[in-house]
């Protein structure tokens, strides 16, 4: 297909498209290597647990561990927040030590990213993901900003504007051109992560707020699949059921639901909707050549408004990043980091919108 034909298709809701209506996606799911592993693993959920483990060892040895010698992998972010807020001075100091070391690791990752061709012109980085929704995450973002400024690295670091549980849903509206949703005021969005899967109804009013600036999550359901002994196929069945529930709620609320489902999922998404790699934190093999998530979901869904439903798949960090489009109009190149089970990443360049 000619370059022009490829571009046209990308602008019309293509799976994994790097050219959308408002941004070009310069890079996502960057897989830089570091000491035999992936660079992003230095700032992941597993890395945080390892740092906490190291910091607790002296206290465990002295019988003064505030977490009763439980495995660090069993200590969640909410518990760390409580320990920081309500623990004694020594416990608070322990958490600050963990945040500091994690921030140093994150800064190392960012410095490496900014040396890459697609990231070198990034002016602002938004930090999202599950960790961002907790106090320890907020502190890590603030400390990252301070570390980069101290090294005179000219990039602004900001927390993602929306609640992390909402951001991965809100970005789905930008997977298609705005005109596709004319006459509608809501879509179904899905955010698949290494720990949780979310399905929500995203509402908008393009007459009052062009560009989806006023988009909001009207309703969402969260399933922590990591707590269940599930399989890939059971997970897809659960997603279809959750989508059906969201469709019914939207119809009951008399929303003009567009026949469109936008999905964010870990991994590198191919043009046919299959996933090449990067789904190791999901249950089962989502990167199988015989598995096509958007096709499976489209086949299982009923008509919406009397029309077949268009299902579009993209990387989860990309979709979360797209939620920041209204906040990035004053810069040209910008990026997103998502702190969760893994470290998601993507960078964008704003496109010139012709009036």
* Domain membership flag for residue 14: no
Q: What does the pLDDT read at residue 11?
A: 45
* Domain membership flag for residue 26: no
Give the integer Cα–Cα distance in Å for 278 and 41: 13
Give the integer Cα–Cα distance in Å for 195 and 188: 20
Kindly indicate the confidence band of residue 270, based on its pLDDT and cuts at 50, 70 and 90: very high
Last residue of a domain, one of 130, 159, 188: 159
Same-domain pairing of 238 and 276: yes
* Domain membership flag for residue 8: no
Same-domain pairing of 115 and 197: no
Same-domain pairing of 168 and 296: yes
Mean pLDDT over 128-136 rounds to 90
Same-domain pairing of 233 and 199: yes
* Domain membership flag for residue 110: yes
- The contacts of residue 344 (CB under 8 Å, 6+ apart) are 29, 40, 129, 266, 315, 316, 317, 320, 336, 337, 338
- Computed on alpha carbons and rounded to an integer, the radius of gyration of the chain in Å comes to 21
If DSSP states are collapsed to H, E and C, what string results for the chain? CCHHHHHHHHHCCCCCCCECCCEEEEEECCCCEECCEEHHHHHCHHHHHHHHHHHHHHHHHCCCCCCCCCCHHHCCHHHHHHHHHHCCHHHHHHHHHHHHHHHHHHHHHHHHHCCCCCCCCCCEEEEECHHHHCHHHHHHHHHHHHHHHHCCCCCEEEECCCCHHHHHHHHHHHHCCHHHHCCCCEEEEEEECCCCEEEEEEECCCCCCHHHCCCEEEEEEEECHHHCCCCHHHHHHHHHHHHHHHHHHHHHCCCCEEEEEEEEECCCECCCCCECCCCCCCCCCCCCCCCCHHHHHHHHCCCECCECCEEEEEEHHHHHHHCCHHHCCCCCEEEEEEECCCEEEEEEEECCCCC
Query: Domain limits at 191?
Result: 163-323
Same-domain pairing of 92 and 229: no
Give the integer Cα–Cα distance in Å for 255 and 247: 10
Whether the CB-CB separation of 122 and 114 falls below 8 Å is answered with: yes
Same-domain pairing of 313 and 168: yes
Same-domain pairing of 178 and 267: yes
Same-domain pairing of 186 and 111: no
* Domain membership flag for residue 344: no
* Domain membership flag for residue 18: no
* Domain membership flag for residue 332: no
Mean pLDDT over 128-138 rounds to 91
Q: Count the domains in the chain.
A: 2
Whether the CB-CB separation of 165 and 190 falls below 8 Å is answered with: no
Same-domain pairing of 226 and 254: yes
Give the integer Cα–Cα distance in Å for 38 and 113: 12
Looking at the chain, the whole-number percentage of residues with pLDDT higher than 90 is: 83
Same-domain pairing of 179 and 312: yes
**Residue 322 in tokens:** 């797209």
Same-domain pairing of 151 and 172: no
CATH number reported for the structural domain that contains residue 127 in this entry: 3.30.420
Q: What does the pLDDT read at residue 8?
A: 36
> CA of 83: how far to CAs of 116, 136, 140, 285, in Å?
38, 10, 16, 37
Strands 216-223, 197-203: pairing is antiparallel
* Count of residues in the chain: 355
Mean pLDDT over 295-317 rounds to 92
**b/e per residue 104-115 (b: at least 16 CB within 10 A):** bbbbebbebbbe
Tens digits of per-residue pLDDT, 53-108? 999 999 999 999 999 999 999 999 999 999 999 999 999 999 999 999 999 999 99
Q: What does the pLDDT read at residue 10?
A: 41
Same-domain pairing of 84 and 102: yes
pTM: 0.92
């Amino acid at each position: 297909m000619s370059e022009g034909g490829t571009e046209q298709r990308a602008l019309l809701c293509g799976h994994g498209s790097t050219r959308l209506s408002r941004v070009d996606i310069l890079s996502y799911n960057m897989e830089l290597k570091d000491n035999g592993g992936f660079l992003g693993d230095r700032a992941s959920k597993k890395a945080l647990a390892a740092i906490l483990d190291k910091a607790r060892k002296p206290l465990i040895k002295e019988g003064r561990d505030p977490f009763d010698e439980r495995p660090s992998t069993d200590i969640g972010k909410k518990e760390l927040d409580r320990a920081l807020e309500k623990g004694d001075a020594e416990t608070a100091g322990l958490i600050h030590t963990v945040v500091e070391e994690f921030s140093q690791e994150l800064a190392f990752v960012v410095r490496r990213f900014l040396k890459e061709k697609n990231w070198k012109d990034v002016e602002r980085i938004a930090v999202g993901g599950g960790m961002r929704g907790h106090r320890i995450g907020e502190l890590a973002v603030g400390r990252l900003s301070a570390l980069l400024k101290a090294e005179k690295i000219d990039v602004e670091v900001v927390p993602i504007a929306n609640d992390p549980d909402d951001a991965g849903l809100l970005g789905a509206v930008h997977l298609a051109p705005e005109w596709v949703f004319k006459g509608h005021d809501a879509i179904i969005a899905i955010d698949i992560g290494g720990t949780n899967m979310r399905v929500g109804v995203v509402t908008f009013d393009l007459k009052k707020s062009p560009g989806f600036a006023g988009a909001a999550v009207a309703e969402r359901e969260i399933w922590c699949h990591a707590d269940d002994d599930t399989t890939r196929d059971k997970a897809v069945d659960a997603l279809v059921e959750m989508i059906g529930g969201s469709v019914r709620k939207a119809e009951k609320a008399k929303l003009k639901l567009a026949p469109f489902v936008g999905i964010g999922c870990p991994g590198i998404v191919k043009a046919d909707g299959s996933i090449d790699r990067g789904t190791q934190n999901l249950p089962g093999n989502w990167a199988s050549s015989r598995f096509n998530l958007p096709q499976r979901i489209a086949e299982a869904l009923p008509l919406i408004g009397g029309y077949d439903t268009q299902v579009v798949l993209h990387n989860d960090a990309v979709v979360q990043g797209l939620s920041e489009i209204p906040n990035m109009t004053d810069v040209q190149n910008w990026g997103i980091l998502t702190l969760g089970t893994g470290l998601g990443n993507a960078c964008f360049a704003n496109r010139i919108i012709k009036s």
